[in-house]
């Protein structure tokens, strides 16, 4: 139904007078006018002006964005929840944690790695390799560091002369004892795992380079049996060696052996020698001389040879310390577990290391190691049951 209340009596569209009904309908009563004035006044009091409305909208919009976006810039491990305050943060993967606990609750299985490794690799090239270079076993080296020690014989002789012991320590030479090893990688997958108390239960705990322990005990444990290092990767803080039994040098150049001799004998290297390291090296490691060793380069060489089966490019391959440590563990222990292994290149935003916020995308810049080949190799070891992956990233 169309109403004509809005039409003007004085100004019809065609200039003709309005019909009586329309004129009557178009003439409001005084009461109606009073009601209309009151309504308009109330509306002006209720609604804000255009400028006030704009200002209010901006304040409201900024407030909403702040409530949503600002928390996203806080580190995830800094966010406190009720569960954090009462029972501590929840482990990342309870299934993996339970599997690890189940593994440790059972007895050690003698020759477990050996029995599961041989069907995978018919060749015994990765087995029965002396773990450390020994004084009483002279070796003719065909390759230069890090695959051998050719050209570094004089440097090696001086370093071995400074070592009271060069072979396996008595604690690792006990015949008939079943030993469990865990190799603690530096991968970001270890962050939030809560595996620290499990790691500390292993007989031999192997760590790599300057991966920190203090402050990360919940995920990485606090004990270290063997820390594999090269000079530039050695931790500078004395705290990192507090619960360490042994440091084993991985030789990448002749000067690394001179550095080891300097650390053991407490005779500093010359200023000229220090210039040849690509970063500053530590002058002192608070361990006794009998707690140092030199990793047998044959472990690195043989590991690289096996990795060739998984690589796209052929030639002498230098494996990472992580892959070399796994092969070293196969020589030392009956059962081997891995924690913190497995770079996930499909998620470039993921943590690269458990102890820092560098992302996985940083791995694309390195060209020295074949990470893809190593992952395939370790996956085969896990699939064959030769080693156990505690963090589930392989």
DSSP one-letter code for 187: B
Q: Name the domain count of the chain.
A: 2
Q: Give, rounded to a whole angstrom, the gap between the first and last alpha carbons of the chain.
A: 76
Contact 184, 228 (CB under 8 A): no
* 21/154 same-domain check: no
* 39/106 same-domain check: no
* 150/209 same-domain check: yes
* 143/257 same-domain check: yes
CATH code at 156?
3.90.1480.20
Going edge to edge, which strands form the sheet with 335-339? 292-294, 244-249, 224-229, 204-208, 180-184, 335-339, 387-389
* 224/358 same-domain check: yes
Bond from prior residue into 146 cis (ω within 30 degrees of 0): yes
Q: Alpha-carbon distance 365 to 86, whole Å?
A: 42
* 141/242 same-domain check: yes
* 31/101 same-domain check: no
Contact 248, 228 (CB under 8 A): yes
* 37/141 same-domain check: no
113, burial (CB in 10 Å: exposed 0-12, middle 13-18, buried 19+): buried
DSSP one-letter code for 291: G
Helix intervals (H) in the chain: 20-26, 30-46, 50-69, 82-87, 94-105, 112-117, 153-161, 196-199, 217-220, 254-265, 271-274, 297-307, 321-332, 371-383
Asked if residue 65 is part of any domain, the answer here is no
> Closest by alpha carbon to 394, among 349, 340, 356, 352?
340
* pLDDT at position 41: 45
Asked if residue 57 is part of any domain, the answer here is no
Contact 333, 225 (CB under 8 A): no
Q: Encode pLDDT of 196-254 as tens digits.
A: 999 999 999 999 999 999 999 999 999 999 999 999 999 999 999 999 999 999 999 99
Asked if residue 365 is part of any domain, the answer here is yes
* 100/40 same-domain check: no
* 147/8 same-domain check: no
Structural domain of 122:
95-389
Contact 253, 207 (CB under 8 A): no
* 30/147 same-domain check: no
User: Whole-model pTM above 0.95?
Assistant: no
* pLDDT at position 345: 58
* pLDDT at position 211: 96
* pLDDT at position 297: 97
Q: Alpha-carbon distance 293 to 1, whole Å?
A: 101
φ and ψ of 204, to 5 deg: -130, 125
> Closest by alpha carbon to 251, among 350, 156, 392, 115?
156
Q: In the beta sheet, which residues pair with residue 246?
A: 226
Q: Alpha-carbon distance 388 to 394, whole Å?
A: 10
Please list the pLDDT of the chain residue by residue as tens digits (394 residues). Answer: 444 444 443 444 444 444 444 344 444 444 444 444 444 444 444 445 667 666 767 677 666 545 444 443 334 333 332 233 344 567 778 999 999 999 999 999 999 998 898 777 655 578 889 999 998 888 889 999 999 999 999 999 999 999 998 888 887 877 778 999 999 999 889 999 999 999 999 999 999 999 999 999 999 999 999 999 999 999 999 999 999 999 999 999 999 999 999 999 999 999 999 999 999 999 999 999 999 999 999 999 999 999 998 988 777 789 999 999 999 999 999 999 999 998 665 666 678 889 887 776 666 555 567 888 999 999 999 999 999 999 999 8
CA 3 to chain centre: 75
Examine the fold and report which residue of 47, 63, 79 is the final residue of a domain before the chain moves on.
47
Contact 121, 310 (CB under 8 A): no
Tokens 């003709």 identify what position? 16
Sign of CA dihedral 314, 320, 322, 328: positive
Examine the fold and report which residue of 47, 62, 77 is the final residue of a domain before the chain moves on.
47
* pLDDT at position 315: 74
Q: In the beta sheet, which residues pair with residue 295?
A: 132
DSSP one-letter code for 251: P
Structure tokens given for 245: 């039994």
* pLDDT at position 122: 58
Asked if residue 86 is part of any domain, the answer here is no
Asked if residue 75 is part of any domain, the answer here is no
Asked if residue 52 is part of any domain, the answer here is no
* 170/258 same-domain check: yes
DSSP one-letter code for 242: T
Contact 227, 251 (CB under 8 A): no
Longest alpha-carbon distance in the chain: 129
Q: Encode pLDDT of 324-342 as tens digits.
A: 999 999 999 999 999 999 8
Residues contacting residue 381 through CB under 8 Å, at least 6 positions apart = 117, 120, 326, 387
Asked if residue 295 is part of any domain, the answer here is yes
Asked if residue 307 is part of any domain, the answer here is yes
């Amino acid at each position: 139904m169309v109403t004509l209340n809005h039409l003007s009596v004085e100004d019809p569209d065609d200039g003709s007078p309005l019909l009586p009904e329309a004129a009557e309908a178009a003439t409001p009563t005084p009461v109606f006018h009073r009601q209309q004035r009151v309504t308009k006044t109330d509306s002006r009091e209720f609604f804000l002006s255009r400028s006030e409305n704009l200002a209010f909208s901006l304040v409201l919009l900024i407030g909403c964005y702040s409530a949503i976006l600002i928390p996203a810039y806080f580190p995830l491990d800094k966010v406190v929840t009720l569960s954090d305050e009462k029972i501590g943060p929840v482990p990342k993967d309870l299934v993996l944690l339970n599997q690890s606990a189940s593994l440790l609750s059972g007895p050690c299985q003698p020759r477990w790695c050996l029995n599961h490794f041989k069907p995978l690799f018919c060749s015994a090239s990765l087995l029965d390799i002396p773990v450390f270079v020994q004084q009483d076993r002279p070796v003719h080296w065909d390759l230069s560091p890090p695959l051998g020690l050719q050209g570094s014989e004089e440097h090696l002789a001086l370093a071995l002369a400074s070592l009271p012991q060069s072979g396996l320590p008595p604690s690792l030479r006990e015949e008939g004892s079943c030993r469990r090893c865990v190799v603690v990688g530096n991968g970001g997958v270890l962050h939030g795992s809560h595996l620290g108390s499990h790691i500390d239960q292993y007989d031999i705990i192997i760590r790599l380079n300057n991966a920190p322990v203090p402050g990360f005990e919940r995920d990485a444990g606090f004990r270290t049996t063997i820390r594999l290092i090269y000079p530039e990767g050695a931790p500078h803080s004395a705290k990192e060696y507090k619960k360490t039994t042994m440091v084993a040098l991985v030789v990448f150049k002749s000067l690394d052996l001179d550095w080891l001799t300097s650390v053991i004998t407490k005779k500093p290297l010359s200023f000229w020698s220090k210039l040849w390291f690509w970063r500053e090296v530590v002058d002192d490691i608070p361990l006794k001389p009998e707690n140092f060793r030199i990793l047998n380069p044959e472990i690195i060489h043989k590991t690289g040879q096996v990795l060739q089966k998984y690589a796209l490019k052929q030639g002498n391959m230098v494996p990472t310390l992580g892959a070399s440590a796994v092969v070293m563990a196969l020589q030392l222990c009956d059962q081997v577990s891995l924690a913190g292994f497995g770079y996930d290149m499909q998620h470039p935003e993921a943590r690269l290391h458990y102890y820092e916020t560098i992302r996985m995308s940083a791995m694309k810049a390195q060209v020295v190691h074949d990470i893809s080949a190593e992952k395939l190799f370790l996956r085969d070891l896990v699939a064959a049951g030769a080693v156990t992956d505690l963090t589930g990233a392989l």
